[in-house]
Amino acid sequence: MIPDVHSVPTGWGIRPVLLTLGGHPIQSYSFFVTGGIVAAVLVYYLNTRGRSVGNNALYIALAAAIGGILGSKLPIWIANLPQIIANPGRLDLLLSGRTIVGGIIGGALAVYVTKKRLHITQRLGNYLVPSLCIGIFFGRIGCFLAGCCYGTATTLPWGVDFGDGIARNPTQLYEALFVLVLFVYAQIMRDRYEPGELFRRFMIAYFSWRFLLEFMRVNPVSAMGLTYYQVASVGVVLFYLFKNVLRNAVSSEGRSS
């Protein structure tokens, strides 16, 4: 079963409640996830503004957003399906839990299907990369403050106690730093790659990183001693590597003919 990695024990986390407004607590995780969505939309708008993208940019953005939301929730819904069916009135079972891995895959699939249905040939993936990076960055800061997605025990001096008295790898911050570097790189290089190439490189880089990071995270093992997220990461990396090899082969054949 894929765990609801965003559920944490009471009293767990660095600062689960960011602040209180009018007597209502503002959860750190919800605040930063919302901030990440706003930042991602703003970055995408600024990066596509003034370019000859027409309505294609809007269609692709909507597809990525809807697919990302469904992709992040669907694995959790499937894992919790027996509890959801047994408790149809519990909204917390529907709203809790999400996975970034599923969100990215779902968003990519939704964009692919939308482009096929609308016959869009323009490739705007390079402009999605900075938005993805900044969105993940804010989300992981929220994870760190809430204490979810935590790492294994460590003796490193920066180990963090999330509430059980054990110093753990702050894997949320590791990932936040990684995608922040990717964000800066993507902003600089988004127009220097051929259309779609930066997105392909992002998918390979992020999922390769996520595969390695899983060795420091607390997640149940599934197949071949790997976690569910590692299996998914391997699949994504192999897909994009194979896709690139196939494209180069077709391109070489076209030049030779």
In a domain, residue 178? The reply is: yes
Note the pLDDT tens digit of each residue in 60-105.
888 888 888 787 777 666 666 666 676 666 655 555 566 788 788 8
The token duo for 72 is 């992040």
In a domain, residue 86? The reply is: yes
In a domain, residue 218? The reply is: no
User: Which residue range is the domain that position 122 belongs to?
Assistant: 17-193
In a domain, residue 243? The reply is: no
Looking at residue 2, its pLDDT comes to 40
Looking at residue 161, its pLDDT comes to 94
In a domain, residue 156? The reply is: yes
**pLDDT tier at 208, thresholds 50, 70, 90:** very high
d(CA 110, CA 113): 5
What one-letter code names the amino acid at 235? G
Q: Is the pLDDT of residue 126 over 60?
A: yes
Looking at residue 38, its pLDDT comes to 92
Average pLDDT, the chain: 84
In a domain, residue 255? The reply is: no
Q: Which residues have a Cβ under 8 Å from the Cβ of 225 and sit 6 or more positions away?
A: none
Distance from first CA to last CA of the chain, Å, rounded? Answer: 51
DSSP 13-31: SS-SEEEEETTEEEEHHHH
Can you list the alpha helix ranges (DSSP code H) found in the chain? Answer: 28-48, 56-79, 81-86, 91-95, 100-118, 125-146, 171-189, 197-213, 228-256
d(CA 30, CA 151): 21
* Residue 216 per-residue DSSP state: G
Q: How many helices (H) and strands (E) does the chain have?
A: 9, 4
Looking at residue 89, its pLDDT comes to 65
- 4-20: average pLDDT: 74
**pLDDT tier at 119, thresholds 50, 70, 90:** confident
**pLDDT tier at 158, thresholds 50, 70, 90:** very high
Looking at residue 39, its pLDDT comes to 94
Q: Is the pLDDT of residue 255 over 70?
A: no
d(CA 113, CA 88): 31
21 to 25, 139, 156, 196: CA distances (angstroms): 6, 21, 37, 43
In a domain, residue 7? The reply is: no
Inter-residue long-range contacts of 22-26, CB under 8 Å, 24+ positions, other chains counted: none
Q: Is the pLDDT of residue 180 over 90?
A: yes
**pLDDT tier at 237, thresholds 50, 70, 90:** very high
φ/ψ bin of 52: left (φ > 0), alpha (ψ from -120 to 50), beta (otherwise): beta
In a domain, residue 224? The reply is: no
Count of structural domains within the chain: 1
Q: Is the pLDDT of residue 247 over 80?
A: no
